[in-house]
Chains A and B, each alone.
Chain A
Amino acid sequence: MHIFSQLFQYEHPWSHVVIGMWRKYPNPKCTHVVSVDVIDRSVDPETGIIRTERILGCKQKAPRWVVKLFGGSEDAFVREVCFVDPATQDANITSVNLSLSQFATCYEVVRYTPAGPHRTNFSQTAEVQARTRLWQTAANGLEKWLVQRFEQNAQLGKTAFTDVLRALWEERHGHLQAAAA
C-alpha cells in the first residue's frame, strides 16, 4: 500500500473555501477533469449536514503498459462523496476510483476545517492499494492456463516427433527391403 498526504492552509475563511469548492472545475490547471455530475444530494433534517455524491470524469493518458495489461482507456471515472457540516464548520470529501477499480483502489480523503476566522486548513490523504487477492486469483489462473497449454504442446510435440521418426525409418526400411529383394 502506498500512502500520500499533505497539509496546507488557504488564506480564505472556511465558508469561502466550501462555496468555492463547487466551482473548482473546469480549471486550466486541472484539465484532466472534464466532467462533474451530482448523482445524489440530500440535507439531513436533524444535523443540517449536506451530503453530495458526484461522479468526476477524467481524461488522462495512462502508461501504455497499463492500457495493454488492464485494457484501460483515456476515460476514467471517480466517485466522490462530500459532507458539509455548517454547524461544526467541517467539510469532508472522500473519493474512490471507479475505473480499473477491479485491480487497484485509490482512496482519497480531503478535509477543510477553519484555522481562525480568515484561514482554512486543508488536509489530504490518499491510499493506493492493489487488490492483491484478486491478483493472486488472476496469477493462479494464468499459471493453470500456462501449465495446461504446456501439457497440450508437450503431448503434441511427442506425437509429432513420433510421426517424423516413423515416416523416416519406415521409408528407409522400405528402401532397404526393396534393394535386398
Chain B
Amino acid sequence: MASSLSPECTPLKTQYDACFNSWFEGYLEPAVAASSTKNRQEYSKRKAEEEYKACVQKAVKDSGLESTLQQARDEHPLKSPPPPDPSSLEQGKKH
C-alpha cells in the first residue's frame, strides 16, 4: 500500500486500508468474501478509520494544504456522482 503524506500516519493508514479492502471485496462480491470474521472486521475498521482520520487531518494541516483543499472543495464539491457520459454509455452498449 502507498504511504501516507506524513510518515507517522503510515502504520494507521496500512491498517485502515487493509480493513477497507477486505470489507470492499465483500461489499462487491458477498458470495466470495462471506467471512466469519465480518463483524470483527467491521468493528476494527471503525477504530482504524477514526485513528487514521485524526492523524491525516493533522498531516493535511501541517502540510499547508488546508486552504487549497477547501478552495477545491468549494469549486467542485463532488458530493454525488457526475451524470453518465453519453459516449461511455454507447461504448458499453456495443459489447
Residues on A lying within 8 angstroms of B by beta carbon are 7, 15, 18-19, 22-23, 25-26, 33-39, 41, 49-51, 53, 55, 57, 77, 79, 81, 83, 85-86, 90, 92, 94, 96, 98-99, 101, 107, 109, 111, 113-116, 119, 121, 123
Contacts and interface: CB of A to CB of B under 8 A. Distances in A.
A77 B28 contact: no
A15 B29 contact: yes
Interface of B: 1-5, 9, 13, 16-17, 20-21, 24-25, 27-29, 49, 52-53, 56-57, 59-60, 63, 65, 68-69, 71-73, 75-76, 78-82, 84-85, 87-89, 91-92, 95
Contacts of A83: 80-81
Contact of B27 (A55, A86, A101): A86
Q: For the complex, would chain B's binding face be called helix, strand, loop or mixed by DSSP majority?
A: helix
Contacts of B91: 7, 113, 115, 121, 123
20 contacts: A19-B24, A22-B17, A25-B1, A25-B2, A35-B4, A36-B4, A37-B4, A37-B60, A38-B17, A41-B20, A77-B63, A90-B81, A90-B84, A94-B76, A94-B82, A98-B68, A113-B91, A115-B91, A121-B95, A123-B88
Contact of B3 (A34, A51, A109): A34
Contacts of B24: 19, 22, 50
